[in-house]
Amino acid sequence: MSNESLILTPGAVPLAQWRSIYRGASLQLDPACAAAVAASAATVERIVAKGEPVYGINTGFGKLASVRIEAADLETLQRNIVLSHAAGVGEATPAAITRLMMALKLASLAQGASGIRPATLALLEAMLARGVVPVVPGQGSVGASGDLAPLSHMTEVMIGVGEAFTPTGRMPAVEALASVGLEPVVLGPKEGLALLNGTQFSTANALAGLFEAERLLQSALLTGALSTDAAKGTDAPFDARIHKLRKHKGQMATAEALRQLLVGSAIRASHLSGDERVQDPYCLRCQPQVMGACLDVLHHAADLLETEANGVSDNPLIFSSDNGGEALSGGNFHAEPVAFAADMIAMAICEIGSLAERRIAMLVDPALSGLPAFLTPKPGLNSGFMIPQVTAAALVSENKQRAYPASVDSIPTSANQEDHVSMAAHGARRLLPMAENAMAVIAIEWLCAAQGCDFHAPLTTSTPLAAVHAALRAQVPHLSDDRHIQPDMQAAIGMVRTGALIASARFALPAIA
């Protein structure tokens, strides 16, 4: 858990704060939102008092919207929707993503358009502050009508049902709340629907994927530059003049990073003249074009998700200042923007890993790299990095299969009332496993590139790349003869996953926020 503490301003939370929350920062709502929340709750009270049928307040839900619910049953109605909609299956969502989902829901409800009561909102905020994280099965949302099942599993803990993770372990909801001095709430009119309707599960997963993709891209720029030096590649393709002519911002930014990373390399200086190769393979030469395109796509996905994270996506919406207060039904719960963003991120993750695998294949091939076969001093007796390249190829192919757009799929639900859905939830939920695969590929490249540079000793690479090389060698020694290689791979993967690879370079890399 991060020691950072944030003030969440509903509707105006920058992407960097969502990243901090995902990484474990604590948070509290800006007190300035209290007036709008109270006004929204008062509007719901007035609607109930009028007795006119309003969807989600005194009617059934979905296909049952025409069924009128009497005032005496409104609390039961809200409890029932939570219990009946908590129908998820599969493994529990990682706690970091569930926390982010809770924070997103908190920021949405606090904008005063959902009819939530201050006390109910305070319970959700207190759960976040005290480490009560609902157990949320990962499967069951189609990304429209809101992420109903996952958000219901979040909400059920608030009413004392289900399970939650706490600082002292996983336990039933009532015990979890009591362990930190909290009690379940009885939901009032509209509150159950407000809590379980929205895109926060899909958005949390997509944001998590975005933040891991950012770390992946930065890591791949470092290993890509190190591979370029290991293969005695040229930095001419990174010349700024080339990229200014094409004008893509990401391409220019990644080219500049790659060029600067190689400045001062004695390995590069050793073959500035007399190199018979006219052009390097695409996996080296076209890094700015591919990685820059990935960076631009991630920037666009980030814009979409930052907008979504600061929006209100439940239904109906409460407008307290209009005509004495109105509840309007619409479709803000439809997660198509999130689905598109998730598909973009998936494609970027896939391509980053795919290009890195091609660099690995190039390094282990003596005809392309000029290095010993499979990067071992004694090929034949030793297999060196032969099979790690196979593993990288397997992971890349798995990501290719997962990268198929989720947003082009739809299946009708709720007796055809909800006849077009976004599939944002599973489109976003695949991103972390894809990022894990790609990070393993980057870790394998790191091992191979460092091994390749070892063969050029006593020549050294640039200062930031030498630091990257040294950070790996502090954990994984040079591979002289074959040894159990999985521990080496796991050590490198761990350093990529935690950001230790990036930190070791002490170099400003392109970022999304």
What is the number of other CB atoms lying within 10 angstroms of the CB of residue 420?
Answer: 13
The C-alpha torsion from 410 through 96 and 307 to 213, rounded to 10°, is: -80
Whole-angstrom CA distances from 29 to 118, 191, 276, 390 are 12, 19, 63, 49
CB of 344 closer than 8 Å to CB of 407: no
Placement of tokens 């070892």 in the chain: 454
Reading the block at residue 205, the tokens are 């997963």
What distance in Å separates the CA atoms of residue 47 and residue 52, rounded to the nearest whole number? 7
What distance in Å separates the CA atoms of residue 268 and residue 242, rounded to the nearest whole number? 20
Reading the block at residue 343, the tokens are 């598909």
Long-range contacts of 235-243 (CB under 8 A, 24+ apart): 235/259, 235/262, 235/268, 237/280, 237/284, 237/285, 237/286, 237/287, 237/288, 238/262, 238/287, 238/288, 242/288, 243/288, 243/292
Give the strand pairing for 89-92 and 137-139: antiparallel
Residue 168 burial class via C-beta count within 10 angstroms: exposed 0-12, middle 13-18, buried 19 and up? exposed
Placement of tokens 């770390």 in the chain: 215
Give the strand pairing for 163-166 and 169-172: antiparallel
Say how many Å lie between the first and final Cα of the chain, rounded: 21
What distance in Å separates the CA atoms of residue 469 and residue 473, rounded to the nearest whole number? 6
Question: Which residues, 6 or more positions from 388, have their beta carbon under 8 angstroms from its beta carbon?
Answer: 360, 444, 447, 448, 485, 489
Question: How long a stretch of residues is the chain?
Answer: 513
Residue 275 Rama label (left phi>0; alpha psi -120 to 50; beta)? beta
Which listed residue (22, 55, 282, 404) is catalytic? 55
Closest by CA position to 208, among listed 97, 309, 354, 360: 97
CB of 393 closer than 8 Å to CB of 357: yes
55 assigned to active site: yes
- Which residues are catalytically annotated? 55
